[in-house]
Amino acid sequence: MKVCGQCGVRRGPRQRSCDGCGSSLAPLERSLPEDLRCVAVRLELRCTACDRWTPVDGPPTGWTAGAAQVACARCGVSTAMSEEHWRSVLEAAHGVADLLAPDPEGASVSPVAIDAINPFASEGAIRGSVQLAPLAVEGLVGFLPNDLRAWMAPGVLLSPEDRQPVGFEVREEMLRTNDASGVRRYAIDRRCVELHPSLLGAVSDEVERDREGTVAVIGAEQVVCGSCRARFVLDGSEHRVRCSRCGELNQITAAVRHAAQGEPRPDTWWLVFRGPSGYRRRLEGHGAPMQPQEERVWAPTPHRDRVAQERLLQTAWALGVPLVALGFAGVLSVLVALLRG
């Protein structure tokens, strides 16, 4: 697939710049192993205390009583994000990774044609990404609960070293990515895998295990070096800062970064799945019909109908063109004869 050379997000056929990072660099042709699906995610939850959208910057890092807490980047109060919330995020992300593509059949071809009923087909023909949102917010409705909204884009996770796809491996409860510079490990949330078994894991700052250096902290309402307490001035885009006083590399956590942003902006993180999505299987007519938009007609069309239609068109074309040409030649010769006569 054609992806942004900067961030690895898919570039739609009619897009000059990247939906993920805005870069207008020429896209690169990059592919994933046949059975893997990667998707970039920016997720927000509506805070129950202040009723504003707040970023969710990665998969859950802990569960209490069937929910993971998300601290609001605006008011500080935590809102519970339930297992059902996470299940729908994972299902939608896998669906987008699998079905949003220039081909209305999606990233692969099903045993039965799903092009006419693929809910992401028309978006995929133009764009590389999709907004999933509740009613009254711009985006595709019905894929997420009303208190969630997300931007999602299929893509290929690229190595910052050489812009080649990173390799993935799951070992010891960690998703490992490897490239020319080495291996990075990301904790896998076991509950998320139970909720969506084809999830391999997530790549986000918040669950990375091998982050070097120290963590910048907020002291006296200022962000300071975790090692020497020198003050940092941040613009809100930094994920890492090297301290100019002691030289220590500081990690800027999402909470600290959001505090430095005027309006908290959700981080972009990645989910990695194996195999076709549940959405695709439902479109193929297996399992239950899709819940969110039951008014749609989900009946699959067999491929042979499509093939037969195409053949009919081809035959019509093959016969029609010579006939029209012959007719035109006939009319011409009559005209010529009339003019001469």
Per DSSP (E only), the strands in the chain are 2-3, 28-29, 36-46, 53-56, 67-71, 78-82, 130-132, 148-154, 167-171, 174-179, 182-187, 199-203, 214-215, 217-219, 222-224, 240-242, 249-251, 269-274
Does 313 help bind Zn ion (rule: CB under 5 A)?
Answer: no
Total binding residues toward Zn ion, as defined by CB under 5 A: 22
Q: Binding to Zn ion by residue 74, rule CB under 5 A?
A: yes
- Choice between 124 and 276, CB closer to Zn ion: 124
In the list 43, 47, 157, 158, the residue contacting Zn ion (rule: CB under 5 A) is: 47
Figure out which of the listed residues 39, 43, 45, 72 binds Zn ion, where binding follows CB under 5 A.
72
Q: How far is the CB of 38 from Zn ion (least distance, A)?
A: 14
H-helix or E-strand spanning residue 332 = helix 303-340
Alpha carbon of 220 to those of 227, 229, 230, 231, 244: distances in Å? 15, 11, 12, 10, 20
Distance CA 252, CA 248 (A): 13
| Other Cβ atoms closer than 10 A to 92 | 25
Tokens describing residue 220: 């006296």
Tell me which residues in 227-256 interact with Zn ion (CB under 5 A).
Answer: 227-228, 230, 243, 245-246, 248
Shortest separation between residue 214's beta carbon and Zn ion, angstroms: 8
> Does residue 75 bind Zn ion (CB under 5 A)?
yes
Phi first, then psi, for residue 144 (nearest 5°) are: -125, 155
Minimum Å distance from CB 46 to Zn ion? 9
C-alpha distances in angstroms, 25 versus 3, 4, 6, 187? 10, 7, 8, 32
How far is C-alpha 26 from the chain's CA centre? 20
Smallest gap from residue 282 Cβ to Zn ion (A): 31
Minimum CB separation of residue 26 from Zn ion in Å reads: 12
Question: Please, which of residues 48-67 interact with Zn ion by CB under 5 A?
Answer: 49-50
Instruction: Tell the smallest beta-carbon distance from residue 4 to Zn ion (Å).
Output: 3
Residue 317 CB, nearest distance to Zn ion (Å)? 40
> Rounded to an integer, what distance in angstroms lies between the CA atom of residue 197 and that of residue 56?
21
Neighbours of 271 (CB within 10 A): 27
Smallest distance, Å, CB 52 to Zn ion? 6
**6: contact with Zn ion by CB under 5 A:** yes
Pick the closer one to Zn ion by CB: 198 or 251.
Answer: 251
Q: What is the Cα–Cα distance from 259 to 235, expressed in whole angstroms?
A: 10
Contact characters 16-35, Zn ion, x per CB under 5 A:
--x-xx-x------------
Nearer to Zn ion by Cβ, of 67 and 170: the residue is 67
Which spans in 140-231 are helix H?
190-195
Residue placing its CB nearer to Zn ion in the complex, 111 or 247: 247
CB of 37 within 8 A of CB of 94?
Answer: yes
Q: Tell which one of 100, 200, 202, 225 touches Zn ion (CB under 5 A).
A: 225
By beta-carbon proximity to Zn ion, the closer residue of 193 and 246 is 246
Task: Note the residues at the interface with Zn ion (CB under 5 A).
Answer: 4, 6-7, 9, 18, 20-21, 23, 47, 49-50, 72, 74-75, 225, 227-228, 230, 243, 245-246, 248
